[in-house]
Homo-oligomer: A and B are copies of this chain.
C-alpha cells in the first residue's frame, strides 16, 4: 500500500467524485443490462458521460485509481467495469487513524 500514490490519486476533484459516485452506482448511473453494479461496478463509458471529460482522460484517471488500489476492474466483453475496492479504502482510513 503506497500511501503517497493513494493521496496523489485522491488529490483531484474529478477522481474524488468518481470514487463517491461509485459508492452508490444506482443513484448516479442509469440502470445497466448484463452487469450488476455490486458485482462489477460501472463501465468506463458511463463514468465518462458523468464526468464530462474526454474518454482518454477518464480512462487514465480510472487506471490511476486502479494502480493506487482504490478501484478494481473487470473486463466483460468489450466493456471494462470499475468498482470501489472497499477493503483498500478501509485500510486507508485505518492508516490515517493509526499510522499517519
Cβ of A79 < 8 Å from any Cβ of B? Answer: no
In chain A, positions 76-100 with a C-beta closer than 8 Å to chain B are 89-90, 92-94, 96-97, 99-100
For this chain, the copies found in one complex come to 2
B92, A96: Cβ atoms under 8 Å?
yes
B residues within 8 A CB of A4? 11-13, 16
B11, A100: Cβ atoms under 8 Å?
no
Q: Range of interface residues on chain A?
A: 20 to 34
Cβ of A32 < 8 Å from any Cβ of B? Answer: no
Q: How far is the CB of A88 from chain B (nearest CB, A)?
A: 10
B8, A11: Cβ atoms under 8 Å?
yes
Known A16-B100, A89-B97; further 18 A-B contacts with Cβ < 8 A: A4-B13, A4-B16, A7-B7, A7-B10, A7-B11, A8-B11, A19-B100, A20-B99, A20-B100, A23-B100, A89-B96, A89-B100, A90-B97, A93-B93, A93-B94, A93-B96, A93-B97, A96-B96
